[in-house]
Structures are given as C-alpha cells and as structure tokens.
Amino acid sequence: MLSRLRIVLVQTFHPGNIGAAARAMKTMGLTELVLVNPRAFPDDEATRLAAGAADVVENARVVGSLTEAVNDCVQVVGASARLRSLPLPHFEEPDAMAESALDCLQSASNNGQDAPVALVFGRERSGLTTDEIRCCTHQVSIPANPDYGILNLSQAVQILAYELHRAWRSREDSGFVYPTPGETTPPTREQFGHFQRHLHEVMAKSGFLTQPHARTEEQLQALFSRAEPSRKELSLLRGLLSALEPDTPPRDR
Ligand code: SAH
C-alpha cells in the first residue's frame, strides 16, 4: 500500500531539500518521488542529504508539469500552510488526511485498480500557485504556531509521511512488526525457579542472610521478577552467581 503513495515536489529550489525529503520518505516506507521542474537535479547535495535514501533520489522521476505528475492518481492532496479560498475539501489535521488517503487506495484496490494517491508540496519561497492547487482534489495543513507556521519543505514531508505510515501501521493487514532489541524470549518458570534457588544458595552460603526472618530474600526475588529478565539475561545472572561461589560447580543449568 505504501508503494502507491507518491510524493510530488514542485519546482524545488534547493537540491538539498530533495535529498532530505527522500530521507524523510524512506524512513516512513515511502519510495515514489516525482519532481516537477526542479531547479537543479541530479545534484550532489541531494544525494548527500538523502544519506541512506540515495536510492529514492536515484529513482525519482522528473516531469514537466504538475498535471503530468498526478494524472493517474485517484486522490491528490496539496500541502499548504496558507489556506486559499478555493472550494476544495480541506484536512485540518494530517491524521485525517492519512486515513482518507489510505481509504482511497483501499477502495481503488477493491475495484481491482492500483492507482496511486499523491501528496503535493510547493516551492520553498512561494509554495503552490492557485492553479496548482486547482490540480488537487484536497488540501492539508499542518497545524502550527499561528505567528510562524511555515515548515521547511522536507520537514513538512516528514510529518505527513509519518502520519501516512502511522495510519498504515494501525491497519490490521499492514503486517507491521515493532522491532525488538536483541534476544527477548522470556525464561520458562522452571528456568526462573533454578535461578531463584541458585540465588538463595549463594546468599545463604556467603553469610549475606544473617537474619533468616527478615524479608531480604523475598524482596530481592521480587526485584528480579519485576525486571522481567530475558533467558539470556537470566543465564548471565546465573553465571555471575557461579563466579561468586567458585568452589561449588553450578547446578540445575
Ligand atoms: N512560503 C511558502 C511556503 C513554502 S514552504 C508559502 O507561504 O506558501 C514549502 C512547502 O512546504 C509548502 O508549499 C507546503 O507544501 C509545505 N508546508 C510548509 N509548511 C506547511 C504547513 N504548515 N502545512 C502544510 N504544508 C506545509
């Protein structure tokens, strides 16, 4: 679905903004970039600011008019900080735009079409012209400081791309998996029990538990339960306990 979301940049002045927009897109799983009459492209600055998203820049398509960029789309959303008095449906919140864009892609798919949805961004200095807004089916604004609400082009791309990704992620069929750091399989109750006994033995033998009726042991066991160690972390702790009692071979491993 994300592959059918197209970002269109109109007459971008700074090539660095093209690169930064490509990076913003790739971090949110978007890949289709169309450039309408960019001032300088290809350009080293675009590649430099794209960082790991140089492929998005390399695959960008350059066209001669906005009509050409969006003709095959089922929905075209113009991003604009300023509201023009055009009778276009207007999304006041980016998340509403994202839901609508995905609904639109979904209903196109249900009818056997793979037509894209485009988000159109204007020039750094002057934004989109009234004629260009007329090429759109909708407008969206990013609510911001009323005294200074104009974002840098690539940052506007980032925010709207994030909302599209968030809307996609929350759909049941997205298949998105949250990345988990390292090994996080929880230990079995048996493995946890071995650790508790091992801890008990070390505490008892070392003379740490001087007052058997104090709740020291219980409190420490509760601490380790709360920490929810992974299997790997638990075996690390058991290694530590074994090292603290060098004369006794570790048991129940
Ligand atoms: N000076 C221009 C703004 C250019 S910023 C103007 O007054 O229109 C470049 C582009 O970033 C804009 O054309 C728009 O597509 C996007 N953008 C910047 N701030 C935005 C905001 N608050 N909401 C929606 N789009 C925004």
| All domains of the chain in start order, with CATH | 2-174 (3.40.1280.10), 189-243 (1.10.8.590)
Contact 139, 80 (CB under 8 A): yes
The residue with tokens 């968030």 is 166
In ligand 1, which atom is closest to the CA atom of 122?
13
Q: What is the DSSP string of 198-242?
A: HHHHHHHHHT----TTSSHHHHHHHHHHHH---HHHHHHHHHHHH
What is d(CA 194, CA 151) in angstroms, rounded to the nearest whole number?
57
Q: Which residues pair with 116 in a beta bridge?
A: none
Q: What is the pLDDT of residues 157-204, one digit of tens each?
A: 999 999 999 999 999 889 999 887 776 788 888 888 888 888 888 888
pLDDT band at 236 (very low <50, low <70, confident <90, very high): confident
Helix (H, G, I), strand (E, B) or coil at 192: helix
pLDDT band at 252 (very low <50, low <70, confident <90, very high): low
- Cis bond before residue 179 (omega within 30° of 0): no
Q: What is the DSSP string of 154-167?
A: HHHHHHHHHHHHHH
For residue 18, report the distance from its CA to the centre of ligand 1, in Å: 14
Where is 9: in which H helix or E strand? strand 5-10
Contact 121, 79 (CB under 8 A): yes
Give the binding-site residues of ligand 1, using a 6 Å CB cut-off. 79-82, 121-122, 124-128, 141-142, 144, 149-151, 153, 156
In ligand 1, which atom is closest to the CA atom of 143?
22
Q: What is the pLDDT of residues 211-228, one digit of tens each?
A: 766 788 888 888 888 888
3-state helix, strand, coil in the chain (%, to 5): 50, 10, 40
Q: What is the pLDDT of residues 82-104, one digit of tens each?
A: 776 677 999 999 999 999 999 99
For residue 222, report the distance from its CA to the centre of ligand 1, in Å: 54
